């Protein structure tokens, strides 16, 4: 028992660096202000994406236009805080249509088109018929069976221009998993260009669904 108690003590021991961080009030205040700035930046992106959507009412599902933008956040995706904007968005038990903007603190921004269920079935052939066009971009495609992983390691995402297989392989994968995710990564230091990049990316992704 004494050995176990020592182990527990060592696990909860605060070293000098821990105390510096714990006592740094400015750090926590700055983190909150930074979170507010990210929310504001995402708000700017909403207006840009809303403008792109206005040109797509004929070929995108009507239900996605009725949902307001939604921001969610958390403290621990693979150890780092995150902020997500979903817009446009439609989440149902058997179908998802979402354009997801993610700020993964300490890592990057990303913009992802997420289709599942009936939307994946509806747009799958159209998306993969544009495979050569996609290979000319810096977009990535999800190759994971889990649609809720967002990191960009090779077991989750591959750059389309570097894919070894042709479009039929990834289309068959989408049929098997029931979802499609296509993503663009934006470095954090390009934050000021995020609305412009969001506009270009959403325009491209929406055009592929025509």
pLDDT at 6: 55
Tell whether the model's pLDDT for residue 127 goes beyond 80. Answer: yes
Confidence label for 120 from pLDDT (cuts 50, 70 and 90):
very high
Query: Closest Cα partner for 131 from 163, 105, 106?
Result: 163
Residue 99 has pLDDT above 80, yes or no: yes
Q: Distance between CA atoms of 118 and 124, rounded to whole angstroms?
A: 10
Q: What share of the chain is helix, strand, coil (3-state, %, to 5)?
A: 50, 25, 25
Query: What would the mean pLDDT of 42-65 be, rounded to a whole number?
Result: 91
Task: State the pLDDT confidence band at 1, using cuts at 50, 70 and 90.
Answer: very low
The total number of structural domains in the chain stands at 1
Determine which helix (DSSP H) or strand (DSSP E) holds 36, and give its type and residue range: helix 25-53
Mean pLDDT, rounded, for 146-157: 95
The pair of three-digit structure tokens given for residue 129, joined into one six-digit string: 């018929």
Ordered strands of the 95-104 beta sheet? 70-77, 80-92, 95-104, 108-117, 179-186, 140-142, 157-159
| pLDDT given for residue 3 in this prediction | 53
Q: Which domain holds residue 144?
A: 2-207
User: What's the half-sphere exposure (Cβ side, CA atoms, 13 Å) at 13?
Assistant: 9
pLDDT computed for residue 58 by the predictor? 87
pLDDT of residue 83 exceeding 90, the answer is yes
> What is the reported pLDDT for 90?
96
Q: Quote the percentage of the chain above a pLDDT of 70.
A: 95
Three-class secondary structure of residue 181 per DSSP: strand
């Amino acid at each position: 028992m004494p050995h176990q108690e020592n182990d527990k003590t060592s696990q909860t021991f605060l070293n000098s660096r821990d105390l510096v961080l714990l006592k740094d009030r400015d750090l926590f205040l700055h983190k909150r202000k930074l979170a507010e700035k990210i929310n504001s930046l995402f708000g700017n992106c909403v207006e840009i994406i809303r403008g792109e959507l206005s040109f797509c009412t004929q070929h995108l599902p009507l239900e996605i236009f009725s949902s307001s933008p939604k921001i969610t956040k958390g403290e621990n995706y693979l150890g780092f805080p995150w902020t997500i904007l979903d817009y446009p968005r439609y989440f149902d038990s058997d179908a998802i249509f979402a354009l997801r903007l993610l700020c993964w603190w300490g890592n990057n921004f990303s913009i992802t088109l997420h289709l599942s269920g009936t939307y994946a079935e509806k747009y799958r052939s159209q998306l993969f018929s544009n495979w050569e066009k996609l290979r000319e971009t810096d977009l990535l495609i999800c190759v994971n069976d889990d649609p809720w992983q967002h990191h960009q390691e090779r077991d989750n995402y591959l750059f389309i221009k570097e894919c070894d297989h042709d479009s039929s392989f990834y289309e068959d994968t989408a049929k098997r998993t029931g979802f499609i995710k296509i993503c663009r990564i934006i470095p954090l230091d390009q934050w000021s260009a995020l609305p412009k990049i969001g506009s270009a990316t959403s325009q491209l992704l929406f055009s592929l669904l025509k």
